[in-house]
Amino acid sequence: MHPIIKLVSQRIALGLLLLFGASALIFGLTEALPGDAAQAVLGQSATPEALANLREEMGLNRLALTRYAEWLTGILHGDLGTSLTNGLDIAESVGSRLGNTLFLAFWAALVSVPLAIFLGLLAVRYRNRWPDKLISAVTLTTISIPEFLIGYVLVYFVAVKLGMFSPLAMINDSMSFWQKLNAIALPVIVLTMVVLAHMMRMTRAAILNVMQSAYVETAELKGLSNFKVIWRHAFPNAIAPIVNVVMLNLAYLVVGVVVVEVVFVYPGMGQYLVDHVTKRDVPVVLACGVIFAAIYIGLNMVADIVAILANPRLRHPK
């Protein structure tokens, strides 16, 4: 078997195994939470008889392992199940919310990835000079501040004081494309500020590592400008680690938006997950958790495969 095919197969098998482990862990942690969906629906004043009847109706009196096995069987057949608290089909509820989360993540990535690469190239071009130090200081400052704090600061100054954007990122199907972009402007800014430093620093480090190579020194001796050496010779050969860190941050933009969605009341997967965690709605929490885990593992798998394909020793084995 070709080494690349073998390594890719191993990554896919490992990804599926991790996804199974993630679902089991999410189920176990959700079960460990105090209370259950019946208690959340009826409240603290519910009688034991009413709780027992509702638990019987919801199937909560069965063994946890049995419920997990039934849920896992349904997932393998494409059935995400039904919400315990409202009886709605989870797949239908998740569909629009997942689309909203991906819409937000797409625009955040469209802004942050090119900006991070540009700033990384700029930092290399002026390394150890004031532009490099300024870029590093600003990006490291933004990544050090919690995203909820950045969100509230932007809401207060940009939305409330300046009135530039809406403080709440509420979108719906009746809104035009530009109205949706205006609504998600602040969440996109927050997400960009959070992921920018990591990608920029990795771009800078990867290019500086390549700049020490002999062929880069040859290009410099030929009289090429510093920027042409960086762009034409160093950057293409540093693409593997840059792609890896970009994929990791793309995964964060989808999976790590929970806090940002809650701050801006954005109707995405994160808000949906938080709402049903408070209700102890295990099927919904499991479905959201597995979708998030699948996206995160899938993007990491893509990063691994790109790194494998970028390795000449694997592409052209002896």
Q: How confident is the model at residue 317 (pLDDT cuts 50, 70, 90)?
A: low
pLDDT of residue 316: 59
Query: Quick one: residue 36, left, alpha or beta (phi over 0 = left, psi -120 to 50 = alpha)?
Result: beta
- What DSSP assignment string belongs to 74-100? HHHTT---B-TTT--BHHHHHHHHHHH
The DSSP element (H or E) to which 49 belongs, if any, is helix 48-58
pTM score: 0.82
141 by Cβ neighbours in 10 Å (0-12 / 13-18 / 19+) ranks as: exposed
Tens digit of each residue's pLDDT (9 = 90 or more) over 65-86: 888 888 888 888 888 888 877 7
- Taking the C-alpha atoms of residue 173 and residue 189, their distance in angstroms, rounded to an integer, is 23
Q: How confident is the model at residue 2 (pLDDT cuts 50, 70, 90)?
A: low
The candidate with the shortest Cα–Cα distance to 126, out of 217, 209, 230, is 230
- Taking the C-alpha atoms of residue 243 and residue 203, their distance in angstroms, rounded to an integer, is 9
User: Does residue 147 have a pLDDT over 90?
Assistant: no
Q: 100 or 302: which carries more pLDDT confidence? A: 100
Angle at CA of residue 232, ends 132 and 120, nearest 5°: 20
- Start-to-end CA distance of the chain, whole Å, equals 13
* Mean of pLDDT over the chain: 83
pLDDT of residue 314: 57
User: Does residue 114 have a pLDDT over 90?
Assistant: yes
User: Does residue 318 have a pLDDT over 60?
Assistant: no
Task: Report the range of poorest mean pLDDT among 3-12, 92-101, 290-299.
Answer: 3-12
Please give the CATH number for the structural domain made up of 101-281.
1.10.3720.10
Span 245-268, average pLDDT: 86
- Taking the C-alpha atoms of residue 108 and residue 192, their distance in angstroms, rounded to an integer, is 6
